[in-house]
Amino acid sequence: MHNSEIASLFDELADLLELQGANAFRLRAYRNAARTLGSLTEPLSELAQGGAKALQTIDGIGKDLSEKLVTIVETGELPQLEELREQIPSGVVMMLRIPGIGPKKVAAIFNELGVTTLDQLREAAEQGQIAGLKGFGAKTAATILEGLDQVEQSAQRVYHADARPIVNQIVESLAALDSVTQVSVAGSFRRCCETVGDLDVLATATDSAQVMDALAAHPLVEKVLARGETKQRVRLSPLFDGVKKLELDLRVVPVESYGAAMQYFTGSKEHNIVIRKRAQELGLKVNEYGVFRGEEYVAGGSEAEVYAALGLPFIAPELRENRREFDLAAAGALPELVTVDDIQGDLHMHTTATDGQASILEMAEAAKARGLKYIAITDHSKRVTMANGLDSARLRAHWKNIDKARGKISGIEILCGIECDILEDATMDLPDDVLAEADWVVAVLHYGLKQPRDQINKRLLNAIRNPHVSVIGHPSGRVIGKRPGAEISFSEVFQAAADHGCMMEINAHRSRLDLDDVHAAAAKDFGIPIVISTDAHSVNGFVELQNGINQARRAGLTTDDVANTRNINEFRKLIR
């Protein structure tokens, strides 16, 4: 099982126990453990080989949790969770996601009405059964109906990159209003999470009604779901097919609270818990309205003021996950994060030679137009037959065409590359004498991703040790929300990459973002140069670069950590 799968079991266990009214400290232990496990780079299945005591070296994992982890790793199940699943249907757990009703009310609905699904809950609310329960009433029933719409809408998340054009259009239109003095997006979108479920926009304005009227009339708004004096919730229309209808909360806040509100609503929840605790230790209170000492307002106009009041430097939104940002802040070592303008080259793209939609020269011209100074053309090797992958003879002919294209364009260098599959038997898809002729070799896993960890590691290690391989591309092979990555012992792979001078890729395509942020941060710790590349298949594909930058920033990467921020001469020195 992947670490994320094991972490989700602990989250589910906490949900079910919460419905039974379990001790809050016990629930917190499970949820904290789930977050910790999800951030580990080493497979728990490997760590568990040392037994429960070895697992207790993980922060927040005590005797009880370590024994449960061993059980999960050895059997794939957790008996306590299985028992609870039999007692509490999954639809009841879904009810916990409804804003405004807690576990006690959910438990009452389940136990007293026998409601086990969201559809049944909606019917019970509409028919007055909910309002008739002791301690509920018509207001609670209305809250449930409104919350059900939100839960059903937010059940599906969308790629950050799909939400970006929607967010940009709305924020730009609101910023253009005469009454608006500040406006920005907050929430998981601002933290550049891989996917988002809804959107939060904050504004300061001299006329809040004008802002809400403008949002309600915006072409991207399909329906106003709720409106008050300073808050409005709307449902958005998708910009293109396949993107769910996001919901957006607009809050118009006082100028003196704008920074505090931005900090609060940006999150993450885990980061803000530490912020509140730190405030309490300093005799302060922090919330979305500001920082207070008793009733005295201390700060809140800007986020920098809020952090300064707590004795902290400004922490970039992408780092606010309570991983290591507070330790770095204490040490005065918060990184200056890489930006899209720092990137000088793109080292992964395809042309009409395989499954791309543009010629070599067209890709080069499009890259140059975006300000890039060098690219590598990396069409598929022969194993990818569905993409018309190249064998040795076709590849060499392709490289000759690249050489011809070089003479037709100036101001950008074109490297002869190849995206070469690492085959299931751990050999390379093309012979070494061919790979030796390449300027740049991207080694990848496309097939056999469900092989055992030992075989996956063998494949990756063989590629890393091959002196002609430059970088491991999209290392896990995952597709976000659709296909889990291969099970990898990343510490072993990263150590080999560091020893042999092999780089690691953050594939910037919105559906990959592979390496993920946790493993990209771990690769940085090993001193491995990271390459951020688009995997572009058309001249429009270079827009994906921002996604990779977002991932790199969440990993805490600087220009020193990212190889293709260097000019071509310095970059060539990194290629073995």
List where CATH 3.30.210.10 sits in the chain: 258-330
- Supply 383's token pair: 């194993």
> What's the CATH code, domain 158-252?
3.30.460.10
Three-class DSSP category at 345: strand
pLDDT value at position 239?
A: 59
Give me the average pLDDT of each 10-residue run along the chain (576 residues). Answer: 81 87 86 81 83 88 91 90 88 82 87 91 92 89 83 72 92 97 97 94 97 95 92 82 76 98 96 97 97 97 98 98 96 97 98 95 97 98 94 98 97 98 98 98 96 96 98 95 88 97 97 96 97 95 96 98 98 94
pLDDT value at position 5?
A: 78
pLDDT value at position 150?
A: 67
Write down the CATH superfamily of domain 3-154. DNA polymerase beta, N-terminal domain-like (1.10.150.110)
Reduced DSSP (H G I as helix, E B as strand, rest coil) percent helix, strand, coil of the chain, to 5: 50, 15, 35
31-34 long-range contacts, Cβ below 8 Å, gap at least 24?
32/60, 33/7, 33/60, 33/61, 33/65, 34/7, 34/8, 34/10
Fold of the 340-574 domain? TIM Barrel (3.20.20)
List where CATH 1.10.150.110 sits in the chain: 3-154
Phi/psi class of residue 540: alpha, beta or left (left: φ > 0; alpha: ψ in -120 to 50)?
A: alpha
Global model pTM greater than 0.85: no
Three-class DSSP category at 519: helix
Other CB atoms within a 10 A radius of the CB of residue 411 amount to: 9
558 CB burial (10 A radius; 0-12, 13-18, 19+): middle
Other CB atoms within a 10 A radius of the CB of residue 59 amount to: 9
List where CATH 3.20.20.140 sits in the chain: 340-574
- Candidates 568, 511, 567, 571; CA nearest to 541 is 511
Q: How far is CA 490 from CA 59, 520, 552, 561, in A?
A: 19, 10, 17, 18
For residue 349, list its beta bridge partners: 536
Between β-strands 413-421 and 440-444, what pairing exists: parallel, antiparallel or unpaired? Answer: parallel
- Give CA–CA dist 419/55, Å, rounded: 38
Does 258-330 carry CATH code 3.40.50.1970?
Answer: no
pLDDT value at position 397?
A: 98
